């Protein structure tokens, strides 16, 4: 029942009971239906046009949801959920939204049948724990068993639904090489793969297959002046975060000048300050200067004379990565404790060489042979901006997936295998419980089947038949001890048959699946708990008084 009441003390409307729940579920279904058709190796892309007419063509769930300006408060939860999945795992954003929406829809049906939301939430929580445990114990396979190919297969699986699926062999190798190149070991001895150390540059022209991996960190900017050398080796790099332009006096500083000749001295001193700063840099031994701000044309000549490379307007993010890779310190001022301006050579970073190269029509500055961590750059080639942007997003997903596989070392079969297995397992589990949660867990189990169903529908195959066969295989795997290997049976969507996806090389990191289950359940529970919505109306009279 819903009541739209406008009581004299609260200016607004209140909806409660079943109405709010149904409304929330409908809103979440609507969001999930938008991304549904982009799931899987034969998923379709979305074209999004924003209010100023910029076009984005993408298959990435998180990107699609970010671009949609979702108004409904409950649907916003799903958008944030996709972003969280993107941050934590990097891939699987579409699946997590679809599962969350399905869980909600089923929960809503249960509430209609007079089952209290608290019982459903308890059942969902229990099912989530059991599902995660089952994935870790029974379905996950150690990477050592599968060798280096498993990394390439993970990358290929991640790319299969994207634009670059046709060249996935080529890009998967590129991605695996890139992730392995940035391998670092931190102080505690853990091996980490910082994805941020991989810089992705987009250059127009040639075909996607002409993309390549460069050893070194590439900056998408050229030298500040043509007179500078194109190559400096070995490089000593200064990373600055301030202007090397003629210093102007601060606002509000008043200078009373009685003699007009003094004016010229003031101007001279202004340009000398910058000159002294640059001399301090060069004296400390810097032969490459990177700054996020500008460098005056007057000041450039000092660098040209010294045979140093200066680069202006470097992105802050790039500067931080270079500082980290070369061991430099990013400084935002020369001032020291005594109020003097100094620059110490210990603040410099080191690299084997810094060179300027031409890639298609752009000049890029490459920092090669860095001292601390090795940085690599992926140079993407493609026909147009949309293609390049989408390649960038696809590779980001694949890089994250390879990183997760390397760090967690366990994978599971893809193509709906895990979901089908969990569905069968949880259904059997539900029948053993004599408590109220039984129905909720049974619905939770059903919800997982949405993934193989959507995969089959997107591939224009008979979903009902395929899902039934898939469940039969998994039921056999879980009841007969000698048929354990059936637990990695999944869909082959190109031929429309069931196959062993571990052997076929369709695999994903186990962590990605576990996170999907956790996040989707949490999101569903969050929305399910809501049974009252109060919208406040702005009071016009008060604003006038303010």
Please state the length of the chain. 546
**Which tokens is 374 given?**
């090795």
Spatial strand order of the sheet with 141-142 comes to 141-142, 410-413, 507-509
Is 352 a known active-site residue?
A: no
Q: Of residues 56, 93, 370, 405, which has the active-site annotation?
A: 93
DSSP H stretches of helix in 253-410: 260-283, 297-306, 316-326, 385-408
Q: Of residues 63, 94, 326, 370, which has the active-site annotation?
A: 94
Residue 414's nearest CA partner among 503, 483, 484, 496 is 503
Angle, CA 492 vertex, CA 491 and CA 496 arms, to 5°: 95
**Which tokens is 10 given?**
């609260």
Contact 152/173 with Cβ under 8 angstroms? yes
Is 94 a known active-site residue?
A: yes
Contact 89/515 with Cβ under 8 angstroms? yes
Is 362 a known active-site residue?
A: no
Is 56 a known active-site residue?
A: no
Q: Rounded to whole angstroms, how far apart are CA atoms 45 and 41?
A: 11
Q: Is 268 exposed, middle or buried (0-12, 13-18, 19+ CB in 10 A)?
A: exposed
Q: Of residues 56, 397, 410, 492, which has the active-site annotation?
A: 397
Q: Rounded to whole angstroms, how far apart are CA atoms 302 and 304?
A: 5
Q: Of residues 60, 91, 318, 492, which has the active-site annotation?
A: 60
**Which tokens is 178 given?**
């890139």
Q: Catalytic positions, please?
A: 60, 93-94, 397
């Amino acid at each position: 029942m819903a009541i739209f009441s406008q009581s004299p003390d609260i200016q607004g409307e209140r909806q409660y009971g079943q109405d709010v729940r149904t409304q929330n579920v409908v809103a979440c279904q609507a969001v999930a239906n938008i991304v549904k058709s982009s799931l899987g190796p034969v998923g379709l892309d979305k074209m999004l046009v924003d209010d100023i007419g910029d076009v984005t063509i993408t298959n990435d769930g998180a990107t699609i949801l970010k671009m949609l300006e979702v108004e409904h408060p409950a649907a916003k939860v799903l958008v944030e959920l996709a972003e969280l999945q993107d941050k934590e795992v990097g891939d699987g954003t579409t699946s997590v939204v679809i599962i969350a929406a399905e869980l909600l829809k089923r929960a809503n049906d249960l509430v209609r049948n007079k089952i209290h939301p608290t019982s459903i939430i308890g059942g969902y929580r229990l099912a989530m724990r059991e599902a995660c445990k089952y994935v870790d114990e029974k379905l996950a396979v150690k990477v050592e068993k599968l060798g280096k190919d498993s990394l390439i297969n993970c990358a290929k699986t991640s790319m299969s639904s994207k634009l670059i699926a046709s060249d996935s062999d080529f890009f998967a190798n590129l991605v695996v090489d890139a992730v392995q190149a940035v391998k670092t070991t931190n102080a505690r001895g853990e091996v980490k793969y910082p994805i941020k150390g991989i810089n992705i540059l987009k250059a127009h022209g040639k075909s996607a297959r002409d993309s390549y991996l460069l050893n070194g960190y590439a900056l998408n900017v050229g030298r500040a002046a043509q007179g500078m050398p194109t190559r400096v080796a070995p490089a000593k790099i200064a990373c600055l975060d301030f202007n090397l332009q003629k210093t102007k006096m601060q606002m509000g500083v008043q200078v009373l000048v009685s003699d007009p000749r003094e004016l010229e001295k003031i101007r001279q001193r202004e340009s000398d300050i910058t000159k002294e700063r640059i001399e301090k840099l060069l004296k400390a031994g810097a032969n490459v200067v990177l700054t996020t701000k500008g460098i005056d044309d007057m000041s450039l000549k000092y660098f040209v004379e010294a045979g140093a490379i200066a680069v202006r307007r470097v992105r802050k993010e790039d500067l931080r990565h270079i500082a980290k890779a070369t061991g430099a310190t990013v400084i935002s001022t020369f001032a020291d404790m005594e109020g003097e301006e100094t620059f110490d050579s210990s603040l410099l970073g080191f690299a084997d060489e810094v060179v300027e190269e031409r890639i298609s029509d752009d000049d890029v500055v490459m920092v090669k042979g860095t001292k601390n961590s090795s940085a690599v750059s992926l140079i993407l080639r493609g026909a147009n901006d949309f293609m390049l942007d989408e390649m960038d997003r696809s590779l980001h997903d694949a890089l994250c997936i390879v990183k997760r596989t390397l760090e967690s070392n366990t994978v599971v079969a893809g193509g709906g295998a895990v979901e089908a297995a969990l569905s069968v397992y949880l259904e059997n589990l539900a029948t053993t419980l004599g408590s109220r949660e039984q129905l909720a867990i049974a619905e939770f189990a059903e919800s997982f089947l949405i993934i193989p169903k959507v995969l089959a529908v997107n591939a224009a195959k008979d979903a009902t038949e395929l899902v039934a066969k898939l469940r039969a295989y998994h039921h056999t795997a879980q009841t007969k001890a000698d048929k354990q290997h059936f637990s990695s049976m999944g869909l082959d969507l190109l031929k429309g048959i069931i196959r062993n996806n571990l052997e076929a090389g369709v695999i994903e990191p186990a962590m990605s699946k576990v996170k999907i289950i956790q996040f989707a359940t949490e999101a569903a529970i969050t929305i399910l708990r809501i049974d009252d919505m109060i919208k406040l109306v702005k009071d016009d009279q008060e604003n006038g008084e303010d």
